[in-house]
Amino acid sequence: MAVKAGIVGCGNISDIYFQLNERFDAIQVIACTDLNFAQAVKQAEKYRGVEAQTMDDFFNNKDIEIVINLTVPSAHYVVHKRALESGKHSYGEKPLALTLTEADELQTIANEKGVLLGAAPDTFLGGGLQTCRKLIDDGWIGQPVSANGFMMGHGPESWHPNPDFFYKVGAGPMFDMGPYYITALISLFGPIKRLTSSTGKAFKERMITSVPKFGEMIEVETPTHLSSLLDFENGVIATLVTSFDVWGSNTPNMEVHGTTGSLIVPDPNTFGGPIYIKRQGEMTFQEVPLVYGFQENSRGLGVLDMAQAISDKRKHRASGDLAYHVLEAMHGILQSSEDECHYKMQSTCHQPDAFPLTMTTRGF
């Protein structure tokens, strides 16, 4: 029996989640809502079996078991809270909330209500990163020692129609793209013990060169270049650089180095490959075939896993604990630079279980 879900927030990103009905067997989207009700109606008409409902009717709908929260980041907390207080499981886009206080409250409510809380990114469940996880777990590079992650570009003002929010407090390259990298690292190595960083910004203002706001200036309110060191509980040391201040770079998205080999990891904002490995005694890197499915755009895997976890009465992988740990790490990176000292993590999380090789593109 499929777990029934409803979507809050019917913008551009919602299409891949409405398609859950077509892609997976364990979950069925039956309703949607949006502050712009006409947008909810538009999406409901586009996808068979989905009903547009007012916000109140949506949260009072007893058939909805999982709320999929696709609102803007500033509304994540409010929507998650209402879903949890309604006794529904809640899964949303990243981040879990804007502040640790909000995220902590959400976890408390979820525990009190006995429901599941989770958040994107779920790219770590894709074929690329799951294959990397298996290579590491199976000892192909020996004991992991270090990792590097680089997300470097020159920001979204040249292509995004409304890039202002990327430069506000609570955004920037760390809160925009950092969750993909930090989540991927935790999925490979487990929780973070402490971290340190240096942050800055190259420009106080930026000019929008995309339409329709071409020529408008943006005040930069958050760091746009962040260099961090993350110490993991298992001893791995990772370097992470996220930047909107770089015009071009040939650095890899992510690398993992072990005692007997090195692994080039795919872009953690994607679900596929390629993966390359160079083992002790070998002269060059060799491409590794992916042994898991979900190599295409598979956003919604986290919801699928939550739905199956409800049925199986187990812990889901893109969990609230994981999302909270990632959120604390991002805040810690800002805090470390401001305080000019190491930041010791106060939270921890369970390293998400790897997918079984029996996982199919329809589910377990």
Question: pLDDT tens digits for 144-179?
Answer: 999 999 999 999 999 998 899 899 988 999 999 999
Q: Is the same domain home to 101 and 68?
A: yes
Mean pLDDT of the chain: 96
**pLDDT, tens digit, 9 for 90 and up, residues 91-119:** 999 999 999 999 999 999 999 999 999 99
> Does residue 307 form part of some domain?
no
* Closest listed residue to residue 143, CA positions, set 235, 232, 62, 51: 235
Residue 360 has pLDDT above 70, yes or no: no
Q: Is the same domain home to 105 and 170?
A: no
Q: Is the same domain home to 85 and 217?
A: no
Residue 364 has pLDDT above 90, yes or no: no
**Domain boundary pick from 104, 119, 134:** 119
> Does residue 303 form part of some domain?
no
Q: Is the same domain home to 240 and 204?
A: yes
pLDDT of residue 150: 98
pLDDT of residue 157: 96
Reported as a pLDDT band with limits 50, 70 and 90, residue 363 is low
Q: Is the same domain home to 139 and 265?
A: yes
What would the mean pLDDT of 346-353 be, rounded to a whole number?
A: 97
DSSP summary character for residue 14: H
Reported pTM: 0.95
pLDDT of residue 182: 98
Within 13 A of 228's CA, how many CA atoms are on the CB side?
34
Structural domain harbouring 287: 124-293+326-344
Q: Is the same domain home to 144 and 289?
A: yes
pLDDT of residue 1: 82
pLDDT of residue 357: 87
pLDDT of residue 125: 97
**pLDDT, tens digit, 9 for 90 and up, residues 38-97:** 999 999 999 999 999 999 999 999 999 999 999 988 899 999 999 999 999 999 999 999
Q: Which positions ≥6 away from 141 have C-beta within 8 Å?
A: 135, 256, 257, 258, 259, 260, 261, 262, 263, 277, 279
Q: Is the same domain home to 41 and 108?
A: yes
> Does residue 305 form part of some domain?
no
**Domain boundary pick from 90, 119, 148:** 119
Q: DSSP string covering 32-101, please?
A: EE-SSHHHHHHHHHHSTT-EE--HHHHHH-TT--EEEE-S-HHHHHHHHHHHHHTT-EEEESSPS-SSHH
Quote the strand ranges of the chain, DSSP E. Answer: 3-8, 27-33, 51-52, 66-69, 89-92, 117-119, 144-152, 192-200, 205-207, 217-219, 225-232, 237-243, 254-258, 261-265, 275-279, 286-288, 343-344
pLDDT of residue 181: 98
pLDDT of residue 248: 93
Q: Is the same domain home to 105 and 145?
A: no
> Does residue 310 form part of some domain?
no
Residue 361 has pLDDT above 80, yes or no: no
Q: Is the same domain home to 163 and 240?
A: yes
Residue 262, beta-bridge partner list? 257, 278
> Does residue 299 form part of some domain?
no
> Does residue 302 form part of some domain?
no
> Does residue 361 form part of some domain?
no
Can you give the CATH number for the domain in which 145 is found? Answer: 3.30.360.10
What would the mean pLDDT of 255-275 be, rounded to a whole number?
A: 97
What would the mean pLDDT of 307-330 be, rounded to a whole number?
A: 96
> Does residue 178 form part of some domain?
yes
Q: Is the same domain home to 196 and 174?
A: yes
287, burial (CB in 10 Å: exposed 0-12, middle 13-18, buried 19+): exposed
- The answer to whether residues 134 and 277 touch, using CB atoms and an 8 Å cutoff, is no
Q: Is the same domain home to 148 and 284?
A: yes
**Distance, C-alpha 358 to centroid of its chain:** 24
pLDDT of residue 169: 87
What would the mean pLDDT of 344-353 be, rounded to a whole number?
A: 97
Q: Is the same domain home to 129 and 200?
A: yes
Domain count, the chain: 2
**Share above pLDDT 70 across residues of the chain, in percent, rounded to a whole number:** 99
pLDDT of residue 12: 85
pLDDT of residue 221: 96
Can you give the CATH number for the domain in which 45 is found? Answer: 3.40.50.720
